[in-house]
Chains A and B, each alone.
Chain A
């Protein structure tokens, strides 16, 4: 769900910015969340912002390991063997990889095909843009088409359908929609023009502090033509909602690494305890996912609950205090509507009243119209491991990759889409 790359800090400027080397590529990074970072430290970079200072020894070790193909292969073989051993002690077991980026890593290296038969990996809600309900996308599209603002967005959002097309189709109809790599570029866009710039605040906890930072930046530099249309969603409430269903078939969770970089390990603990699901926080290299799966299956074989952390190089127990504070300062928690799932209490963020002047909803008096979703979408059940895509009456009829109904069809790695494309 949230891309992040480890970068070595190579330059720190007085204004809290700096540069980092991501492998052989140097890039500007915003260091406002990691004021303690020193030259030579590794930081986890998400959309141009350093989220956290990494455990340098672990980061270096992983980078080295990732370098050698033969070592990687050998390591993978060992892990597959360990999974076999643990799995032999288990009945049919369903593990949900919560995060779309895990799904992608799993699909890219086809880990699923090599797992023992009694271990079923199912894909979770995918990505934060896929769960944005059509009504909210419509709001952004209508604003873009009204010509009142330039929309700055991450590329992910461009193709997510509202009820009448997407931001991409709005652009075809003349709307000014600009794809940015990070908040810095959205702010720059606003500085460079007279007209209004609205930045779409999408993403989970990983991305929320970046949008919060951009709002504060805009405030500090007295930018009057910048605002954010905030549609952030939160992961733990969604997990709670999925697992609360008495029929939930989920036995274990692979928890999202970069969300956890921000929120830490603690928020998963009550979930793991209350629903009796073993959980492991996982990184994003195929080997990370494999290692986390090994840890999780071993945990379950031992009959042990609780939350493990495979991704300790980027996830501290307490998470990033700084990022959490920033989120709390700028946003408040509200109920959120999830595509195909419905309203989940306390699962979304909105700008606090004090920051109202940066709230595009207020500035442009936008109203969200709930778009009734065609009845019959079973995404909620599919996400809960209780139904398969083909059991949905809409699958392959009104719900198609070009005209998706639920997030499982929107997401490029969603279960319904995968079932359609791979047959």
Chain B
């Protein structure tokens, strides 16, 4: 008999539980590398990034996007964050018996639109149907591949003390939009930021090359979580300046209503980058001018690597410090 342990929602949240879970999986034939969101593989002389992701979202349609757009951009962005030029995707659809075909058509329409926007082609796919009792709604999976851009060397191991942390725009829009929709809050301001970040990544790589050390798209668990992952990978101490972190007023309001912290809310069209101190200004300028990210901004710094006490700290408004911990579970609306 097994250990009796069971899957929990938190295992899929991208936080610490996910990390613990997958750590226990690897056996012969697994070669997970640095555990970034995409793997780097070689075929002959060419180097590629390769990734896969599954998409479960409630609601399926939300302001600014739907599960179809999410499925395309999610994988495109994982490739882009690895320094690759996204090229081909696969798409698998698992739907429940009885799911409205019109809705499925709408979702597929979004997939095709998003693919055109991101400049990728969906070249293979699969469809399965499960009984209504086993699944409600629809689940998508995409896998993607893209050639690594010349000059890109994205790796946590290259991050050094003194490097600057940059974000490409306001944080938390995607999750705030989904939550607003789920709890029936009307919103003029909040829309999912769901979009391709490949252009932004290309602009930075073009401008600063290897001075770009590391980047990730802050999806589940948001900025705080990806930085914690980086910190624990390389024993970094990272410092973020609260007043510099861009959060739109509508996202802040949504977070206040539900008792959530915007620093932990998911984005679907942003990047978090670590760039050497001397190239940080250039990287921000490239993002703003050529990367389509007018609100790109430096928000913090890597103070130390190889530390026995990896941590992410927030410099608060009144000059205090707060530790931003790993998210251990999905954020839920609270009363206190």
Contact = CB atoms under 8 A, between A and B. Distances in A.
Interface of A: 1-3, 5, 19, 22-28, 45-47, 69, 72-73, 76, 80, 100-101, 107-114, 127-129, 154-156, 158-159, 168-169, 171-173, 179-181, 185, 202-203, 206-207, 286, 290, 421-422
Given A24-B188, A109-B320, A181 B333 contact: yes
Given A3-B336, A19-B186, A25-B257, 9 more contacts: A1-B336, A2-B335, A3-B256, A3-B259, A24-B187, A27-B183, A76-B317, A154-B334, A181-B183
A76 B318 contact: yes
B184 interface: yes
Interface string B249-276: 1101110111100000000000000000
B317 A73 contact: yes
A100 B187 contact: no
B320 A172 contact: no
A22 B257 CA distance: 8
* 10 closest residue pairs by CB, A with B: A110-B320, A155-B332, A23-B253, A26-B186, A24-B250, A24-B189, A109-B316, A127-B336, A27-B185, A25-B253
A23 B256 CA distance: 10
Interface of B: 6-10, 180, 183-190, 243, 249-250, 252-254, 256-259, 316-323, 325, 329, 331-336
- Residue in B254, B321, B329, B333 whose Cβ sees the most chain A Cβ within 10 Å: B333
Contacts of A172: 6-8
Given A25-B254, A422-B323, A3 B318 contact: no
A163 B253 CA distance: 36
Nearest to A7: B257
Contact of B321 (A73, A110, A129, A154): A110
B329 A203 contact: no
Nearest to B183: A181
Chain A facing B: main interface SS: mixed
A111 B317 CA distance: 10
Given A5-B257, A26-B186, A109-B318, A154 B333 contact: yes
A397 to B, nearest CB: 21
A113 B186 CA distance: 39
Nearest to B189: A24
A203 B317 contact: no
B332 A158 contact: yes
Contacts of B321: 110, 113
A179 B332 contact: yes
B325 A27 contact: no
A47 B321 CA distance: 30
Contacts of A203: 335-336
Nearest to A412: B325
A158 B322 CA distance: 25
A290 B258 CA distance: 23
Nearest to B314: A108
B317 A72 contact: yes
Contacts of A202: 335
A107 B313 CA distance: 12
Contacts of A290: 318
Contact of A23 (B7, B10, B249): B249
Nearest to A180: B333
Nearest to B8: A172
Nearest to A80: B318
Contact of A128 (B318, B319, B336): B336
A22 B255 CA distance: 11
11 contacts: A19-B186, A25-B185, A25-B189, A26-B188, A27-B184, A27-B185, A28-B185, A158-B332, A168-B8, A168-B10, A286-B318
